[in-house]
Amino acid sequence: MSHASGRHFLQIPGPTNVPDQVLRAMDMPTIDHRGPDFQALGQRLFGKIGKVFGTTNPVVIYPASGTGAWEAALTNTLSPGDTVLMYETGHFATLWKKLAEKLGLKPEFIAGDWRHGADAAAIGERLASDSGHEIKAVCVVHNETSTGCVSPIKAVRDAINAANHPALLLVDTISSLGSIDYRHDEWGVDVTVAGSQKGLMLPPGLSFNAVSNKALEASKSARLPNAYWGWGEMLEANSKGFFPYTPATNILYGLDTALDLLYEEGMENVFARHDRHAAATRAAVEAWGLEVLCAEPAHYSSSLTAVLMPERKGADEFRKSVLANFDMSLGAGLSKLSDQIFRIGHLGDFNDLMLMGTLSGVEMGLKTAGVKHRAGGARAAMEVLTADRTAGSISKAA
């Protein structure tokens, strides 16, 4: 790779900045995946990974990216032709729907405007009308990475329950897990889909299914063809600390370390940190006179903020200019938001001064690229970041 002076600012909403400790943990010799040292690693991982999902149930770890974990969630629980209710929160919800179609499912899509999280009431209504229980699963993206809107998962589960509907609840937490409060067990989620490269602070290459008992039960009768993604052999091998096929050993080393870092910081502190950085970012956006894409404050994402361009165009030129001038990668608008927005990732291994470098880069980029805005965004963010700091406070306890 070429080298510009200084560290690149990777401020897309994932992959995120990987801590040095995690990269170094991965930079160790690969070991025998059938030997005792691996077994100890496996048992350690399976013992501690549930905490970040908020579950005491099994978490399946795939050598795959998040897309694979979507496929795993569907193929383990459903049968050809099953109807699944999905919610159009944005680009990734749409991709998941397309994937369901490819697998031979019949997704029903509740339309959304890509500026809100899922509407639990709308889901409840649809389920209430499904007296024949044709709908086998409800699929929702917790944090829609393409828009920066969070869906209220607990409310969705409550709506399902209120409708007395047996549908499974499958949730994509790819860009929220380890960044935004999430509770697999408490919220009654059946399958939680996640990936390594966002809040878990790892390179891409691992993805996850946290699985409820109800989902496990459903997997026994599910008939979608399924081999690589099959939970059965996975869980059997996992119970002894092993995998049924060669796992991505070195990324597992990194996972071991990354979970330790998160738990050392404390999940409550991790969530509070993300909330605080998101608030500071929105203060900057407001001060610039720009608009946050997410139209519902209750749905604001704490892991990324999508920002509308003043005239809903020119975002790609702006991002290109920021990359060329300030060596920072920002997220693009995807599909129907293409060129209309840019996305600022503020998740993962991150802190106040990295955020200020990021927001200063956006502010300088807006000026340099000639985008209409008011100066003062970075300064407004500093107001937020200093509001809870005192001379003697400790940033780690943020």
What is the torsion angle, in degrees rounded to the nearest 10, for the CA atoms of residue 15, residue 349, residue 139 and residue 103? 30
| Stretch touching a copy of itself by CB under 8 A, among 6-14, 115-123, 127-135, 163-171 | 6-14
**One of 73, 165, 363, 373 touching a copy of itself (CB under 8 A):** 363
* Choice between 53 and 62, CB closer to a copy of itself: 62
* Choice between 226 and 305, CB closer to a copy of itself: 226
* Choice between 188 and 204, CB closer to a copy of itself: 204
Beta sheet of 304-308, edge-to-edge order: 9-11, 328-332, 341-345, 304-308, 291-292
Nearest to 311, CA basis, from 281, 332, 290, 282: 290
Please, which of residues 145-174 interact with a copy of itself by CB under 8 A?
Answer: none
Q: Closest distance between a copy of itself and the C-beta of residue 110, in Å?
A: 21
The answer to the question of residue 350 lying near a copy of itself (CB under 8 A) is: yes
Task: Report the SS3 class of residue 364.
Answer: helix
Please, which of residues 275-314 interact with a copy of itself by CB under 8 A?
Answer: none
Please, which of residues 33-52 interact with a copy of itself by CB under 8 A?
Answer: 33-37, 41
Beta bridge pairs of residue 194 = 208
Per-residue contact flags (x/-) with a copy of itself for residues 365 to 394, judged by CB under 8 A: --xxxx----xx-xx--x--xx--xxxxxx
Q: Closest distance between a copy of itself and the C-beta of residue 369, in Å?
A: 5
What is the torsion angle, in degrees rounded to the nearest 10, for the CA atoms of residue 129, residue 131, residue 135 and residue 140? 40
Q: Closest distance between a copy of itself and the C-beta of residue 7, in Å?
A: 6
Q: Closest distance between a copy of itself and the C-beta of residue 152, in Å?
A: 26
**One of 88, 130, 185, 317 touching a copy of itself (CB under 8 A):** 317
**One of 86, 203, 231, 303 touching a copy of itself (CB under 8 A):** 203
Q: Does the annotation list 115 as a binding residue?
A: no
* Choice between 5 and 221, CB closer to a copy of itself: 5
* Choice between 163 and 332, CB closer to a copy of itself: 332
Instruction: Specify the amino acid at residue 54.
Output: G
What tokens does 135 get? 């709908």
Element (H, E) at 243: none
Handedness of CA 141, 183, 300, 328 (dihedral sign): negative
Handedness of CA 230, 233, 237, 239 (dihedral sign): positive
C-alpha triplet 191, 65, 226: angle, nearest 5° = 60
C-alpha triplet 183, 186, 192: angle, nearest 5° = 45
Please, which of residues 217-246 interact with a copy of itself by CB under 8 A?
Answer: 224-228, 230, 244-246
* Count, residues near a copy of itself per rule CB under 8 A: 114
Q: Closest distance between a copy of itself and the C-beta of residue 125, in Å?
A: 29
Beta bridge pairs of residue 104 = none
Distance CA 209, CA 382 (A): 38
* Choice between 57 and 269, CB closer to a copy of itself: 269
* Choice between 57 and 67, CB closer to a copy of itself: 67
What tokens does 297 get? 């404050």
**One of 45, 141, 251, 294 touching a copy of itself (CB under 8 A):** 251
- Indicate the length of the chain as a whole number: 398
Q: Closest distance between a copy of itself and the C-beta of residue 226, in Å?
A: 6
* Choice between 50 and 357, CB closer to a copy of itself: 357
Nearest to 42, CA basis, from 191, 228, 255: 255
| Alpha helices, H only, 20-119 | 20-26, 36-48, 50-53, 66-77, 91-102
Q: Closest distance between a copy of itself and the C-beta of residue 243, in Å?
A: 9
Please, which of residues 74-133 interact with a copy of itself by CB under 8 A?
Answer: 80, 99, 102-104
Residues tagged in the binding site annotation for substrate: 343
